[in-house]
Amino acid sequence: MGGAMAQDNLDAMRDLLQIMRRLRDPQSGCPWDVQQTFRSIAPYTLEEAYEVADAIERDDLDALRDELGDLLLQVVFHARIAEEAGNFDFADVASGISDKMLRRHPHVFGDERVGSAEEQSRRWEMIKARERASRGEQTADDSALAGVSLAMPGLLRAVKLTRRASRAAFDWPDAEGVFDKIAEELDEVKAEFRGQGGRDRLEDELGDLLFATANLARHLELDPEAALRRANRKFERRFRQMEQHLASDGQQLDTVDFEARERAWNRVKQKERQQ
């Protein structure tokens, strides 16, 4: 059974790689696929990753299967472009991540032992630091924050920066300190807004507030991006229901006064709470 499943996996992967070769063929391939580059498809790669996360948030396993396929196609796409340029191919990508997992899990594939997930996280960062040093990267940047990608979404990057800082003993002892910091940052945003300090100053203070909020999410062991996606879905759901309620009364959102909009919004919220 296991051997047949493994062969099925290999066959499916081989088919996908062949499909990408055909799509990228300069003579008989798809014109759109042929003209793509790393940079042109990078936004699609990010989009597919977010759609995977969205399917997970919705507990939609059928969608998750499809979105994982779309994300896998992005990996194959990038690998094919690299292969055509003589840089690396999909096998190199797969072998590279396999080797990395073996190196970074000596407690699974070697003789080391770890007592908890937290200890493993610290070991992981230590191994990564040694790998950077072996590549000569440590001489260029030996900060505890080295290697945190600039391309990450802002909230997630904030979490990763504060996590790295925490491992270097620069952190609040608990979430209470972060709550106080958020209150402080909110007061500073209000002060800049009321004092008319200028757009740059206001943006700076708002950034501090968002950064502190991301730090709170880390202390609460929550994903701020997932929390924000959930809030977005909730707002969209309630907004659409509010439009429908107003329409059922023969009204439109942009023609009623503020009080009517507030009543419709609170009506939707109350209905959700009762469900």
Contact 221, 194 (CB under 8 A): no
- Regarding pTM above 0.95, the answer is no
Instruction: Dump pLDDT digits (tens) for 71-118.
Output: 999 999 999 999 999 999 999 999 999 998 998 888 888 887 877 777
Print pLDDT tens along the chain (275 aa): 567 777 888 999 999 999 999 999 999 999 999 999 999 999 899 899 989 988 998 899 999 999 999 999 999 999 999 999 999 999 999 999 999 899 888 888 888 787 777 777 777 677 777 776 676 655 556 788 877 888 788 998 999 999 989 888 899 999 999 999 999 999 999 999 998 778 899 999 999 999 999 999 999 999 998 899 889 989 999 999 999 888 888 888 888 889 888 988 998 988 888 87
pLDDT at 115: 73
Chain Cα centroid distance, residue 31: 31
**Which distant-in-sequence residues (6+ apart) come within 8 Å of 89 by Cβ?**
79, 80, 82, 83
| Residue range 2-104 in CATH 1.10.1660.10 | no
Is the CA virtual torsion 5, 91, 27, 48 positive or negative?
positive
Assigned token pair, 28: 């008989």
Long-range Cβ pairs for the range 45-54 (8 Å, 24+) = 45/71, 45/74, 45/78, 48/73, 48/74, 53/225, 53/226, 53/229, 54/229
Q: Is 41 helix (H, G, I), strand (E, B) or coil?
A: helix
The residues spanned by each domain of the chain are 2-104, 110-142, 226-274
